[in-house]
Amino acid sequence: MKRKQRKMRITKGERLLYVGAAFFLCFTLVMKIFCGAGVGRLSMNIEQLKYEINTQEKKNESLTMKVNELTSFDKVKEVIAEMGLAYNNDNIIVVND
């Protein structure tokens, strides 16, 4: 007795499942790549903004120090002397809030 060998055939439903699974696998990989690129771009933008903020904070601090230096009492006396004016303490009025 010879046994009949059956050939395994893939049905239309199985074929549809395999094609769908392959499609979704490829779609998932492509989406992962695009999303990863987007996250990388956002990270670079965040780092650039942090750098710009630090730079601006340093400029602000430098300018604040310069303003404090220029408005100091000694500097005011020096400018008054350069302009040939006299410092008169009686003319100073202190205004309190």
84: region left, alpha or beta (phi > 0 left; psi from -120 to 50 alpha) = left
- Per DSSP, which regions of 32-94 are E strands? none
- The confidence score (pLDDT) of residue 1 equals 61
Give per-10-residue mean pLDDT for the chain (97 aa): 73 93 97 94 97 98 92 83 79 72
pLDDT of residue 89: 72
Is the distance from CB of 87 to CB of 80 less than 8 angstroms? yes
Q: Tell me if the pTM is above 0.85.
A: no
Structure tokens at 34: 């695009």
- Those residues whose C-beta lies under 8 Å from the C-beta of residue 86, and which sit 6 or more positions away, are 80
